[in-house]
Structure formats: C-alpha cells, structure tokens
Structure 1
Amino acid sequence: MSERTPDPPSITSWVADATTAPSMHNAQPWLFRHTQADGVLTMRMDPARAMPHTDPSTRGLHIGCGAALFNLRVAAARAGWEPDIRLLPDPADPETLAVITFAPSDGDDDLAGLYPALRRRHTSREPFTGEGVPEEVLDGLRGAALAEGARLDVAGAWQVEALLDLVRDAERAEELAPGVREEIARWTTGSPAERPEGIPAESLGPGRYDGRAPVRDFTAGRRVEGHRSAVFEQTPCLAVLGTRDDGREDWLRAGQAMERVLLQATLDGLATSLNSQALEWPQLRWAVRDPSSTAGHPQMLIRLGYGPEVPATPRRPVSEVLVLA
C-alpha cells in the first residue's frame, strides 16, 4: 500500500463521519468496501433497506447515499485529502453508486470548515420559534446548493400555502396506502437499544396540536407511549431543493447539495427538518416545483428555523457498513 494512500484507520474514521448523514426514515441504505491494495473505496446501496412502496424509484435512497458521500468529502478534506469520485461507474452494476480514490492535498477549506457540523446536525421534528431567518443566511444556503450543482428556492408566502396544501394531500394519500404505512411502521418502532437504525419514539417529535409546519406524523394512527402534542409555527420557512435533471446521478448530486445546505444551516445556528411526503407521489411532485425556477425537478422540502437541540438518531456501527479488504 502506497504511503500516498489513506490508511485503514483513516478510511474507517471517514466512513463513520459519512454515516452521520440523514436518510429516509433513517434506514441508512449505504455500504462501503475499501481495497487496501489500490486504495479504492466503493460505495454501494444496501437493497435490503430500500422501500418499494414509499420510494419505488429509489430516488430517496440515492439522495441519502449522496448525503453520506458529501460527509465523506468533508471528513477527507479536514484530514488533508482530496477525493476523486466517479458516480455510477458501471452501468451493468446499478448497486454501485460511487468509486472513490484519494490524493494528498492542501485541503479544501470550505469543505473542511463544515466538519464541526457533522455530528451537530440532527433532523428536528420539534416546533420552531417562528423567528424569521435573515436573508443573508438564506443567501448563504442558496450558495451552498449552487456549489453542488443544485438550487435552493425559498418559498414566498403564496408558495408556502401551496406547499402546505400538497403536503396535506400527501398525508391523505398515505392514509389510503397500507404498504406505505407498513414501511413507516417498520422504521419507526423499537428503541436505540434494540436496533441501530430507524427513528426511535423519542425522535418522532410531538403531534401537531396547532400550527402549520409540515412535520410528518410517523405514528400513523399507532399508539406510541409518551407521545405528546405541541403547537408548531404558523408561518414556516420552507425551501425546495431541486435539480435541472432527474436521473440517478442527479439524485446523488441532490443528496450532496442537501447535506451541504444542512451542514451550513447548522453552523448558522438553524434547526432543520426534511419532508419528502409530497415528493413521494408522482402526481403531487410536479406541483412542488417553483415554475419560475431553473430547477425543474424538486428533490427535497426543507424546513428552516430556530428551535431546541434534539438528540441524534441511532447509527449502525461502522463494522456493519464497511468492509476492509
């Protein structure tokens, strides 16, 4: 193994950082393999964590894996390494999402500067204060999306109303889809002591007693011990992350853009939550897009604001997701 190749402890550490990324229902649908002889790190999807009812195209799975890939880039940059990434390198093997090699570098200060946010960023399903997000902060988040080839469109007042209507339509569609409800239940039962994935009860957030924030109700009519209700903000700050095209590579890039936005928002002192409900239904997804935006394909709805710190959701041990060969 060349001294110009990262050693196994470095790779292990970077993959641990990568797995702090968000994913649909915290399913953590990624697998890594590092070949020490040539220094190649391969990232693959874990098909056992796909959701055929909620995410039949695997668009959401790709976005989660893209977010993990971005975290890997941040961790490597902090350590003084530059990753060379080939997305979807083998058309005959769709489960291989990326092949990565590393070269020493002076580091990417912009990427490395995001590192402190990796383990501070948590999806919040709690009420936000309703305090407005300053325009200069929103401009920085728009720039973060652009840096990854995506676009972040912050919704104006009328767009917020339209987005909330679409989320409510998706909630009604979900109520009539037993397969979707079963998948949600699969990933939202149990505790961190019992399983290192999914969303435990303490991270589900309260039920919405009042307010209009688009926070998904993961209880789906189930009784959850200790589940409470709360008043959410009346005028949520919502942004749509979108891309110009809509193929598998675009989804991976959207995941990287999403995570860059979330990490920057964390450094800016914001709380964030993700909502893909309306995007999971093709008949609703097209209506989410801002017709004036150059991003014709919405990939994620992001809620931004100021709120309490929330605990991290569980993560699989690195030994389960990384093979050192």
Structure 2
Amino acid sequence: MAAPSLHNTQPWRFRLDTDTRTVRIDAAADLALRHTDPVGRAVHVSVGCAVLNLRVAAAHFGWAPVTRLLPCPDRPALLATVRLAEAVRGAPSTGLYEAVWRRHSSRFPFSGRPLPSDLLAELAEAAHLEGATLRFPGRDDTERVLRATREAEWRNRADTDRAVESRRLVSGPHSPWLGLPAAVLGPQDALERMPMRDFGAHRHPEVLPARAFETRPTLALLSTAHDRRTDWLRAGQALEHVLLLATRRGVRASLLHQAMEWPDLRRALDGLSADGPRLYTQMVIRLGYGPEGPASPRRPVEEVVEADV
C-alpha cells in the first residue's frame, strides 16, 4: 500500500472478507514507534492515508467504497473498514489513481517559484472534502512553524531513545521492506533554516553535502476540529488526498512532522491554524516545485493483505 508513514514503518494490515466484499484495516502495533509516537497518533494518520488510497483504488476499478472509522469499540486495533459496494454506472472517477504510484516524498530543495492561488484553493478543498482544514500561513506564521520544527528536531537529536529508534530505520531495519534507504533522505539545509529531519543519523556535510533550500517555503497546516482517534484517521485521509492532488498537478511535497511529536510544540501551532475556534494541527506539509523524490521500499503484498475465503 503506497501510503506515507512515519519513517516508512507502514503500520497497517488488511484483511478482505470475500463474502461481504469488506476490507478491514488494522493497526500493526509491532511496527509502531513507541518513543516517537507513544500515543499512536501518527499510526492513525498513516492508516488514514492508506484508507484514502484504498478508496481511490476501489473507485478506479468501479466500486463505491463505503468507509467506517473505528467500527468496533471492543477491537481498538481495527481502525477502519471499507466495503466495496456496487458503483453507479457512469460514476465519475477521482482521477487520482495514477498519482498513488507516483507520489513520493521529496526531501530535496525546491525552487522559489510560488504555487498558484487557484491550486492552493484546490488543495484546501481536497482537505475540506475529508473533514479537515488546510491553511497556508503567512510569512510571520511560517517562521513560527519553522522555529517550532527546528526546536523539535533539536529535541529529537538530543533524545537518545528517539534517535536510536530513527537511526534503526535508516541504517538497516530488521526487514528490507521497511525504513528509509539513504537515497530518499535528502540533504540538510546549508543555511540551517529549513529543518529537514536528520533521522537520528547526525549526518555531517562530509557524509552528505548540505545544499541551500528555498528561502520562502510554501508550508501548509493540516488541522481538524477535534483531536480524537477518528480525527487522526480523517486527517490521514485528508493528507493523502492533498498529496495525491499535488502530485497530479506536478507539485512535490515533504512532511515536517517533528513538531507533531512534542505535545507543547504541537499545541503552539494550533493557534496558527485559523481565526475562530481552536483547530488541532495534525501535519505540516512543505510544498513546491522540484525534483521527484525516490521511491521508498514497500512490504510484500503477502505481508500486508490476508483474505477470508
């Protein structure tokens, strides 16, 4: 399932009930990052991304996906079900299916070319369709987001448990299908303004030369009205919808997740989301024009999908 996940842990499992044409999506607790993601919020967001991809694929192949989030209270690991109902003949396709396979995080410098305002509005509408809010902060708020992310990155590097957890997934995880190979990590910012994740590797210029990143980045804050498990799953679906649409429009993206991993820094970003009632920040997205990121490895289908026949 080609969905983004924290450190490419791919923390999901699918089971297809062929009698009811229902796919059950469970969290894979053994693949969670207990230091970086102790409450499992990132797992829910990642599974939400995978659910959106499943919905897109179902629609592409002529099914009408019917989604339920947290359908069974006594089974907390069961995060969602998607029933493949008969589609209405001639129903329009989302046109996002091809982007599922082309979407890759790009942790490389982007050009300084701004994104058109109509495209930003289209991305915001994609998030809205999934029950989330996407806002593009102005220059001052962008600097606040970068400052919070730099602080989070510094904390992550100083936290031994988190650094070891991250380093394990970039220097040889127990499975060749998990984690991030060196090719996808990208450089650090030579000006030390863009806080690209170091993944606990403490990379130095002699190992991976630093490069200058865009000086006026386009950042987006993805937020929800509440901060419950269902909101995390909705945020994941909104995130993937935004990323697929951006990919279709030739825009690259990477995720600045570091501040989401520290409750006080995440709360500091909540006030930047919008005027009015508080919104809960679920992701910081960096968008721009630039090189396409390399693909990350994926778990074999037989490790991810089971079928009840």
Q: Counterpart of 1:7?
A: none
Range 254-263 or range 171-180, more displaced:
171-180
Aligned-partner Cα distance in 2 for 1:168–1:222: 16
Does residue 162 of structure 2 align to residue 207 of structure 1? no
Q: CA deviation at 1:204?
A: 0.6
Aligned-partner Cα distance in 1 for 2:162–2:107: 20
Aligned length: 305
Does residue 146 of structure 2 align to residue 146 of structure 1? no
User: Which amino acid is the alignment partner of residue 247 of structure 2?
Assistant: T
Instruction: Pick one of 83, 86, 93 that aligns with 2:68.
Output: 86
Instruction: Pick one of 219, 225, 240 that aligns with 1:244.
Output: 225
Distance change in 2, residues 1:195/1:223 (3 Å): farther
Aligned-partner Cα distance in 1 for 2:277–2:298: 36
Contact persistence 1:236–1:303 (CA under 8 A): yes
Deviation readout 1:188-235 (Å, 9 max, x if unpaired): 12399x601111111110122126333212253257995232111111
Q: Counterpart of 1:261?
A: 242
Q: Counterpart of 1:189?
A: 171
Structure 2 residue matching 1:216: 3-state secondary structure: coil
User: Which amino acid is the alignment partner of residue 220 of structure 1?
Assistant: A
Q: Counterpart of 2:149?
A: 167
Q: Which runs of 5+ in 2 are unaligned?
A: none
Range 242-251 or range 220-229, more displaced:
220-229
Aligned-partner Cα distance in 2 for 1:307–1:176: 31
Contact persistence 1:243–1:295 (CA under 8 A): no
Map residues 223-302 of structure 1 onto 2, 5 A cutoff: 227-289=208-270, 290=272, 292=275, 294=277, 296-302=279-285
Q: CA deviation at 1:295?
A: 5.8
Contact persistence 2:156–2:200 (CA under 8 A): no
Structure 1 residue matching 2:214: 3-state secondary structure: coil
Does residue 292 of structure 2 align to residue 309 of structure 1? yes
User: Which amino acid is the alignment partner of residue 319 of structure 1?
Assistant: E
Contact persistence 2:70–2:78 (CA under 8 A): yes
Aligned-partner Cα distance in 2 for 1:270–1:276: 19
Structure 1 residue matching 2:220: 3-state secondary structure: strand
Aligned-partner Cα distance in 2 for 1:209–1:71: 35
Contact persistence 1:33–1:42 (CA under 8 A): yes
Structure 2 residue matching 1:265: 3-state secondary structure: helix
User: Which amino acid is the alignment partner of residue 118 of structure 2?
Assistant: E
Aligned-partner Cα distance in 2 for 1:133–1:222: 31
Instruction: Pick one of 67, 78, 102 that aligns with 2:49.
Output: 67
Deviation readout 1:164-196 (Å, 9 max, x if unpaired): 11011112211221111111112112399x601
Contact persistence 1:190–1:201 (CA under 8 A): no
Contact persistence 1:69–1:256 (CA under 8 A): yes
Q: CA deviation at 1:139?
A: 0.5
Contact persistence 1:191–1:200 (CA under 8 A): no
Q: CA deviation at 1:308?
A: 0.8
Q: CA deviation at 1:148?
A: 0.5
Distance change in 2, residues 1:293/1:213 (3 Å): farther
Range 233-242 or range 221-230, more displaced:
221-230
TM-score relative to the length of structure 1: 0.89
TM-score relative to the length of structure 2: 0.94
Q: Which runs of 5+ in 1 are unaligned?
A: 1-18
Structure 1 residue matching 2:85: 3-state secondary structure: strand
Contact persistence 1:188–1:200 (CA under 8 A): yes
Q: Percent identity?
A: 45
Range 221-230 or range 62-71, more displaced:
221-230
Distance change in 2, residues 1:256/1:125 (3 Å): same
Deviation readout 1:274-296 (Å, 9 max, x if unpaired): 11101110111111122526561
Does residue 116 of structure 2 align to residue 158 of structure 1? no
User: Which amino acid is the alignment partner of residue 258 of structure 2?
Assistant: Q
User: Which amino acid is the alignment partner of residue 155 of structure 1?
Assistant: P
Range 33-42 or range 257-266, more displaced:
33-42
Contact persistence 1:81–1:104 (CA under 8 A): yes
Deviation readout 1:92-145 (Å, 9 max, x if unpaired): 11101112211121365353x111211111000000011111111101000000
Aligned-partner Cα distance in 2 for 1:101–1:259: 20
User: Which amino acid is the alignment partner of residue 300 of structure 1?
Assistant: M
Q: Counterpart of 1:14?
A: none
Does residue 273 of structure 2 align to residue 319 of structure 1? no
CA RMSD between the two structures: 1.9
